[in-house]
Amino acid sequence: MTTATSTPARPAPPGGPAPTTMAQAINRALRDAMAADDTVHVLGEDVGALGGVFRVTDGLTAEFGEERCTDTPLAEAGILGTAAGMAMYGLRPVVEMQFDAFAYPAFEQLVSHVARMRNRTRGSLPMPLTIRVPYGGGIGGVEHHSDSSEVYYMATPGLHVVTPATVADAYGMLRSAIASDDPVLFLEPKRLYWSKETIDLSSPPACEPLGRAVVRRAGTSATLISYGPSVSVCLEAAEAAREEGWELEVLDLRTLVPFDDETAAAAVRRTGRAVVVHEASGFAGPGAEIAARLTERCFHHLQAPVLRVTGFDIPYPPPMLEKHHLPGVDRVLDAVARLQWESDHTEGGAA
Amino acid sequence: MTTATSTPARPAPPGGPAPTTMAQAINRALRDAMAADDTVHVLGEDVGALGGVFRVTDGLTAEFGEERCTDTPLAEAGILGTAAGMAMYGLRPVVEMQFDAFAYPAFEQLVSHVARMRNRTRGSLPMPLTIRVPYGGGIGGVEHHSDSSEVYYMATPGLHVVTPATVADAYGMLRSAIASDDPVLFLEPKRLYWSKETIDLSSPPACEPLGRAVVRRAGTSATLISYGPSVSVCLEAAEAAREEGWELEVLDLRTLVPFDDETAAAAVRRTGRAVVVHEASGFAGPGAEIAARLTERCFHHLQAPVLRVTGFDIPYPPPMLEKHHLPGVDRVLDAVARLQWESDHTEGGAA
Amino acid sequence: MTVLEQTPGRDESGARPTPPTAGWRPRTDPAPLLPDETPFRLLGTGARLDKRRKELWRELYRGLVHGRRYNRQATALTRQGRLAVYPSSTGQEACEVAAALALAEQDWLFPSYRDTLAVVARGVDPVEALTLLRGDWHTGYDPRAVRVAPLSTPLATQLPHAVGLAHAARLRGDDVVALAMVGDGGTSEGDFHEALNFAAVWRAPVVFLVQNNGFAISVPLAKQTAAPSLAHKAVGYGVPGRLVDGNDAPAVHQVLGEAVAHARAGGGPTLVEALTYRVEAHTNADDATRYRTDEDVAPWLGHDPVALLEAELRNRRLLTDREADAIAEEAEAMAADLRGRMNTDPALDPEDLFAHVYAEPTTHLREQAAMLRGELAADAADDPDRADTPARRRATGRDDHADDHRQNHQERAA
Amino acid sequence: MTVLEQTPGRDESGARPTPPTAGWRPRTDPAPLLPDETPFRLLGTGARLDKRRKELWRELYRGLVHGRRYNRQATALTRQGRLAVYPSSTGQEACEVAAALALAEQDWLFPSYRDTLAVVARGVDPVEALTLLRGDWHTGYDPRAVRVAPLSTPLATQLPHAVGLAHAARLRGDDVVALAMVGDGGTSEGDFHEALNFAAVWRAPVVFLVQNNGFAISVPLAKQTAAPSLAHKAVGYGVPGRLVDGNDAPAVHQVLGEAVAHARAGGGPTLVEALTYRVEAHTNADDATRYRTDEDVAPWLGHDPVALLEAELRNRRLLTDREADAIAEEAEAMAADLRGRMNTDPALDPEDLFAHVYAEPTTHLREQAAMLRGELAADAADDPDRADTPARRRATGRDDHADDHRQNHQERAA
Ligand SMILES: Cc1ncc(C[n+]2csc(CCOP(=O)(O)OP(=O)(O)O)c2C)c(N)n1
Ligand SMILES: Cc1ncc(C[n+]2csc(CCOP(=O)(O)OP(=O)(O)O)c2C)c(N)n1
Ligand SMILES: [Mg+2]
Ligand SMILES: [Mg+2]
């Protein structure tokens, strides 16, 4: 079932900087994209009158009509499959999967068709689809409402996989995703929907293009590498780390596929130590690829192995226990402490 | 469609050592399991009269009846979903997915139910299911017939993921998988179906338990880590490497989940250099986890980063091009050469 | 002849397809599979009742009153933060209660996420039935012991489970029927289709109950299907389709009872569509005013399952004021008990996170459990010198603890 | 009023559910949606033909003869290793050809993996249509240019694509109908169900053609479904179901033509079941003797689509020996041309592996392409000193090539 918010994502006023939630920024990005390009169609469960269970599509049907923002029957393979057909006709569908775990019924359509149609047809049938998936935990959702499913998509060639960590990025990256001629998994960190920034959506701030990672905080001691919902945890950890005498750099990957090797490797080489942080389970999770490829590229700069702070290798836990599962500041700092610092080793030696 | 073999997997004669193909060994394991335990039921598309498109279930319906080996309607979610229901009633279903890519329709059943049912019910409803998936390439299959989908399963907590590289293991590991009280993805390397060993299936050779990796060849220069269809490539590469003066160790992981950290880390520590080899795409592929976790555990023993030789990050190629995609001996040796040997570096310095 | 060979799809020639003669005919007669034009009703029809049925109707009434009260109490508990979410079945109590009562002891119920009430009506402890919705990690009740599958959140995915279980029981020669519940929205999922088809081909003893309550969250039936009725889907599987007034508890019970008996006798599955209405919002978190008006709801309030049955029982003099009061009091007591027992957070042990992922926790999970245990111990230790420095909490088993750690490090630092 | 608001599922009150009054009735009349008891036929019925239809029947005949020859030639090519695999439609040519001819220029065809013949009959180059089956990586033809989707291997997955495309065209105001082909086995997949339902709810201009050829590889229809007929599935979606003799090419063409016209006029989708038979094995790699006998096949050989139409045309004096010979010769020439052009391996460029994964190859893919290029160059270089040592082939961009590589290494070796 659906743990919905009843607070509508009312769009920010049209002009001037205003406090804006991520849900509002996404809503605005959809509106602006639909207004700018009449081939953009939104479809999914409850995206119409209800405005989506997170109110992200609020007002779109009212403004653009049922044909542009359509409540579909309840069938995710059908949603993605028909959207693929619409894309074959030249439209730019934006599909909403209501929750991460409810995208699984569409897995075959995604892997066997959406990801491969361009290739199979030598570009004759590109798939300019955006698939919006609210993902991750931290909102007290009951089972099947908090999966971090990004690695399934990362492991599927032909897809782009992106996820914003800031309100401004949510706007800018979604506009870019919709404009992309390739299928983009646009993963929306559920627990950031209500995060706020003061921005002016009538002249949206410039945003790095998809495919670029961004350093959110400079540092010299070690690099925290993260994305989506875990970036703020890393920033907090970096703040707290000052007490320990560490200056941590925080990298927001933004795009998981294609991976920004250049920026990420540079960040790791700068500090020689790195911790990857994400909510998804660790085993064969996103951090595995990140750690492996950065180690390949930066081996001789590393003072310690790239460590991972991730969710446990268990089914996503229930509301009452999720705090133990989610990587928090302490667990990040613990990992940083294990990066084989000299002072530490002296201690270690004395112990 | 189906690139089937018309050679039946005729079971080996009941007694004495005889040349046996992997398909025959799997067939025999199914027969023996069904004979030993009447709760074992086989179900899938064409597993009955036809004996499966690879003839792996040949003769089972004739021997045990349609109720024990059942041709299902053509619907993979239905197959796995009904098998889950049968498991809830205490049976031990063995499901055949006809080809790797045709398991995708069952993805939701697998991830949201099969992998989690035991957990959700505190052990009241275990899922003693075996899901057989012929996987990988090298058989000239047309599109959707050669996917290496193992990482999707590895990334899903609650599943065991195993794959044999030898005929004897195919028998022994399948028996163990069927006997397991947990769901096991039993991945059958398609191109090894016709590989032969002379073994005595009436008194099957002892086989390491699930969860243990096995060193297939001892060596001192570097460790090749692999599983399933790529183990033989590694053994061949190790043979060829002697010319270059390298003694390569070859590790057959056998079980991807749970991962045998102990054996794998020991192997890597012994040689200080490692290359992971698999057919699946590299990005966020199985090798990412393997490289990342072994680096975490063996960092200070490593003379070079753990390298990966994998399929490219593209949709699986067609028959006419698959040879370029599949990791071959040369590519493995190239990677070994990049493991920063001293002699090499002297050369490098001179270049 | 085996069970599978008795399935109706098979003609005498076994697996052979129908020959291409001019005499081709449908393989089964579709007429008896089609639902009646009007939904089956009992209330208001003047049906004659024997003693057993009188008792049944009173029992149904008691179930409806309890159910209504349970729904109200559970919704209240969400407001107090005692439940993470509650999808109420107010207005649908007739279906919930009749489904539970239509089953025999040994039968299995496969509820959808909205069907807590059916689970409770089947006899599961009212608190246990709320365990998942409360935010705990498990079903609460023991599904095997009570023969109730976990409440299924992914829609329609429980339907193939019901088919598989019923089929397995039949293969084992056991007398077990499975009743699977799904919503109108859920019928659009592929799993609905595959489950119905497998059940029909295997002639599995399953009854599918679709509660057509008019909405899938905000999406009305008209956007869900263009079918004459959902019961018309049955013929496409070779299964009888039945249509019933879902707010008429005796009628629902009778239709389900017949379907269960048919399944039990080896007749195979039935698809039942119950016409009902979701009177409240989708869940406590939903805002129904966004997609429907009070006017839309009003006619259904006049067709309330509790009121309908109560009026009929009183008309027939099968319910006195005193009895009605007693039932209401009982329901009140049940609600008070529920309130009381839900008033405290359950004691959850974080280590349970790892206990049932596999039959035996893997080494890997044991390491993770140890790490968590270490963290919790450090948090618990009040000694600030030991607890405030995260660096003091160390995981084990990493290479930095290997024997040659220091030596390596020194080489490197040199 | 928008297109979506015209859909039949919606009553005047818009999204509001039917009120719970005693006057409840099916939302649409099911009767006209049910298929006739006997499959529709034209051959042997003495139907009167006008000039246009006479021409059509002759054209169909020409298509069948070509089709039969094409199937035979393609199967032969598998034996010569010129095709990786070929799923023949021998015995099903009437469906294949009629499907292609029922469409107008601007319409789209969504074939299943067995439907190469329909693709060719639609006008695609016979060699191009075999590209995927040949072992090449792409469809060969340009789907957008010829309005033929790629042959779909994952069963039934192309059906939602057809719905989406037809719906999109309708939303854009374009006159486009999509015809989607699927097998009897494919109807069991969830995607079949979801596609039919979306099409019905959206009233999309799609025609679904099920070729019921009796088998899904080895699995006979009786194990696939217990339905009276597959056409009976239509009513469950609110869509008309039609049953036709699939070996009667004029009948198939007429039923499909009517369905296409109905869709074009805004009437929404139709589900057509064509009764036919897979005369050959599933593919060249299959051994059909494992699951059926010659006796099973025999009656269908007596109901051959080519022979049936030929006999009728000759009876009606619409085909002379000379004409028949000319058509056979034409077909022979087509086969010879096919043989000739398939006689060489296509020139594949390994770098194409990376060319169309994304609109722009990623840096990452460019690296992989460079690695492959390097390997191929090394293999090609005849200089044994350079080529025989794999160690000479190096990928770039790794840390071992970083500026400080040697220095680091020396530290480490120290
Ligand atoms: C596979 C899947 N997709 C989406 C959801 C989210 N969701 C929860 S309830 C619901 C509506 C269900 O409607 P219906 O089947 O009619 O049942 P009702 O809520 O009316 O009881 C949706 C879309 C889900 N739980 N599972
Ligand atoms: C999703 C999926 N599952 C399984 C297969 C393997 N497979 C290829 S053809 C076939 C049988 C198809 O039967 P049917 O739909 O009747 O088509 P026909 O072969 O008779 O034309 C199967 C099971 C597949 N291609 N796709
Ligand atoms: Mg509903
Ligand atoms: Mg068929």
Domains of chain C, start order: 31-342 (3.40.50.970), 350-413 (no CATH)
Chain D, 215 to 234: residues with Cβ < 8 Å from chain C are 215, 220-229, 232-234
Cβ of A98 below 6 Å from ligand 1 = yes
- Across A282-303, average pLDDT: 97
Cβ of C169 below 6 Å from ligand 1 = no
Nearest listed ligand to the Cα of residue A1: 1
Contacts of B314 in chain D (CB under 8 A): 353-354, 357, 365, 368
What is the greatest pairwise CA distance in chain B? 71
A211 Cα to chain C: minimum distance (Å): 33
CATH number of this structure's domain B214-343: 3.40.50.920
From the candidates D58, D138, D291, D314, give the one annotated as an active-site residue. D291
DSSP annotation string for B70-81: EEPPS-HHHHHH
From the candidates B145, B160, B278, B325, give the one annotated as an active-site residue. B145
Q: pLDDT, tens digit, for every residue of D284-300? A: 989 999 999 999 999 99
**Alpha-carbon torsion (D6, D11, D12, D15), positive or negative:** negative
- Across A315-323, average pLDDT: 94
Q: Can you give the pLDDT at residue B202?
A: 85
Among residues C240, C119, C102, C109, the alpha carbon closest in space to that of C162 is found at: C109
Model-level pTM? Answer: 0.94
Q: Is D173 left (phi over 0), alpha (psi -120 to 50) or beta?
A: left
Q: Name the pairing type of β-strands B160-162 and B255-257.
A: antiparallel
Give CA–CA dist C241/C246, Å, rounded. Answer: 15
- Across A44-62, average pLDDT: 98
Q: Can you give the pLDDT at residue D216?
A: 98
DSSP annotation string for B295-330: HHHHGGG-SSPPEEEEE-SSSPPPTTTHHHHS--HH
D53 Cα to chain B: minimum distance (Å): 36
Contacts of C155 in chain A (CB under 8 A): 74
Q: Which residue has the tokens 């950290």?
A: B261
- Across D298-305, average pLDDT: 95
Q: Can you give the pLDDT at residue A14?
A: 58
Q: Is A327 on the interface with C (CB under 8 A)?
A: no
Domain residue spans of chain A: 19-198, 214-343
Nearest listed ligand to the Cα of residue C89: 1
Q: Can you give the pLDDT at residue D136?
A: 87
Among residues A181, A169, A178, the alpha carbon closest in space to that of A33 is found at: A178
Chain-centre distance for alpha carbon A50: 24
From the candidates C193, C264, C291, C292, give the one annotated as an active-site residue. C291
β partners of residue D246 = none
In this structure, what DSSP letter does residue C40 have? Answer: B
- Token output for A272: 């020689």
β partners of residue B262 = none
Q: Which residue has the tokens 């041309």?
A: D337
* Amino acid, single-letter form, for residue C195: A
Task: Flag whether pLDDT at D152 surpasses 60.
Answer: yes
Task: Flag whether pLDDT at C400 surpasses 90.
Answer: no
Q: pLDDT, tens digit, for every residue of C323-363? A: 999 999 999 999 999 999 999 888 899 999 999 999 999 99
Q: Can you give the pLDDT at residue B350?
A: 31
Supply φ then ψ for residue B240, to 5 degrees: -65, -30
Q: What percent of chain A has pLDDT over 90?
A: 89
Q: What percent of chain C has pLDDT over 70?
A: 87
Per DSSP, helices labelled H in D80-203 are 93-101, 116-121, 131-134, 143-146, 158-171, 190-202
Mean residue pLDDT of chain B comes to 93
Give CA–CA dist D7/D267, Å, rounded. Answer: 9
Closest atom of ligand 1 to CA, residue C155: 26
**Angle ∠(D30,D36,D38) on CA atoms, nearest 5:** 160
3-state secondary structure of B25: helix
Of B18-22, B100-104, D376-380, the one with minimum mean pLDDT is D376-380
C136 Cα to chain B: minimum distance (Å): 10
Contacts of A333 in chain C (CB under 8 A): 390-391
Q: Can you give the pLDDT at residue B347?
A: 33
CATH number of this structure's domain A19-198: 3.40.50.970
Task: Flag whether pLDDT at B83 surpasses 80.
Answer: yes
Residue C159 contacts residue C200 (beta carbons within 8 Å): no
Residue B207 contacts residue B257 (beta carbons within 8 Å): no
**CB atoms inside a 10 Å sphere around CB A320:** 17
Q: Can you give the pLDDT at residue B345?
A: 41
Task: Flag whether pLDDT at D410 surpasses 60.
Answer: no
In this structure, what DSSP letter does residue B318 have? Answer: P
Q: Binning pLDDT at 50, 70 and 90, where does residue D346 land?
A: confident
Residue B28 contacts residue B171 (beta carbons within 8 Å): yes
Q: Can you give the pLDDT at residue B204?
A: 78
Task: Flag whether pLDDT at D161 surpasses 70.
Answer: yes
Compute, in angstroms, the gap from residue A45 CA to the centroid of ligand 1. 9
Closest chain D residue to A40, measured at CA: D168
Task: Flag whether pLDDT at D407 surpasses 90.
Answer: no
Closest atom of ligand 1 to CA, residue C114: 21
Q: Can you give the pLDDT at residue D384?
A: 53
Closest atom of ligand 2 to CA, residue D92: 21
Task: Flag whether pLDDT at A242 surpasses 50.
Answer: yes
Q: pLDDT, tens digit, for every residue of C203-257? A: 999 999 999 999 999 999 999 999 999 999 999 999 999 999 999 999 999 999 9
Q: Can you give the pLDDT at residue A343?
A: 52
Q: Which residue has the tokens 């499901």?
A: B95
Give CA–CA dist A56/B97, Å, rounded. Answer: 38
CA distances A135 to A52, A132, D150, Å, are 15, 9, 32
H-helix or E-strand spanning residue B131: strand B130-135
The minimal CB distance from A67 to the residues D3, D162, D190 is found for D3
Q: Is A263 on the interface with D (CB under 8 A)?
A: no
Radius of gyration of the CA atoms of chain B, in A: 20
- Which residues have C-beta within 8 Å of that of residue A30, sequence separation ≥ 6? A42, A56, A57, A60, A94, A174
Q: Is D278 an annotated catalytic residue?
A: yes
Contacts of B185 in chain C (CB under 8 A): none
Among residues D150, D124, D110, D16, the alpha carbon closest in space to that of D70 is found at: D124
Chain-centre distance for alpha carbon B231: 10
- Across D177-193, average pLDDT: 98
Contacts of B342 in chain D (CB under 8 A): 413
Radius of gyration of the CA atoms of chain C, in A: 27
Closest atom of ligand 1 to CA, residue C212: 16
Q: Is D291 on the interface with C (CB under 8 A)?
A: yes
Whether C399 sits inside 8 A of A324 (CB atoms) is no
Helix, strand, coil percentages in chain B from 3-state DSSP, rounded to 5: 40, 20, 40
3-state secondary structure of C205: coil
In this structure, what DSSP letter does residue A114 have? Answer: I
Closest chain D residue to C414, measured at CA: D411
Cis before residue C361, ω within 30 degrees of 0?
Answer: no
Task: Flag whether pLDDT at A84 surpasses 90.
Answer: yes
Q: What's the length of chain B?
A: 351
A46 Cα to chain C: minimum distance (Å): 6
Chain-centre distance for alpha carbon A181: 19
CATH topology match: A19-198 vs A214-343: yes
Q: Can you give the pLDDT at residue A65?
A: 98
Residue B221 contacts residue B273 (beta carbons within 8 Å): yes
Chain-centre distance for alpha carbon D303: 24
In this structure, what DSSP letter does residue B122 have? Answer: T
β partners of residue C180 = C110, C208
- Across B227-232, average pLDDT: 98
Compute, in angstroms, the gap from residue B79 CA to the centroid of ligand 2. 14
Q: pLDDT, tens digit, for every residue of B126-165? A: 999 999 999 999 999 999 999 999 999 999 999 999 999 9
Q: Which residue has the higher pLDDT, D403 or B245?
A: B245
Cβ of C217 below 6 Å from ligand 1 = yes
**CB atoms inside a 10 Å sphere around CB B275:** 28
* Amino acid, single-letter form, for residue C250: P
3-state secondary structure of C279: coil
Whether A307 sits inside 8 A of B285 (CB atoms) is no
Task: Flag whether pLDDT at C397 surpasses 60.
Answer: no
- Token output for B71: 């041709």
DSSP annotation string for A233-300: HHHHHHHHHGGGT--EEEEE--EEETT-HHHHHHHHHHHS-EEEEEEEESTTSHHHHHHHHHHHHHGG
Q: Can you give the pLDDT at residue C36?
A: 94
Q: What is the 3-state secondary structure (H, E, C) of A182-206?
A: CCEEEEEEHHHCCCEEEECCCCCCC
3-state secondary structure of B291: helix
The dihedral formed by the CA atoms of C74, C77, C78 and C79, expressed in degrees to the nearest 10: 130
Closest atom of ligand 2 to CA, residue D212: 16
The minimal CB distance from B70 to the residues C4, C194, C364 is found for C4
Helix D249-264 and helix D93-101, axial crossing angle in degrees, nearest 10: 30
Give CA–CA dist B71/D215, Å, rounded. Answer: 12
**Angle ∠(D386,D387,D389) on CA atoms, nearest 5:** 90
Give CA–CA dist A117/A123, Å, rounded. Answer: 8
Task: Flag whether pLDDT at D388 surpasses 90.
Answer: no
Neighbors of chain B with 3 or more C-beta pairs under 8 Å: A, C, D
Mean residue pLDDT of chain D comes to 89
The dihedral formed by the CA atoms of C306, C311, C314 and C320, expressed in degrees to the nearest 10: 40
Task: Flag whether pLDDT at D24 surpasses 90.
Answer: no
Give CA–CA dist D16/D20, Å, rounded. Answer: 12
- Could you tell me how many helices (H) and strands (E) chain D has, helices first? 15, 7
In this structure, what DSSP letter does residue B107 have? Answer: H
**Alpha-carbon torsion (B221, B225, B231, B234), positive or negative:** negative
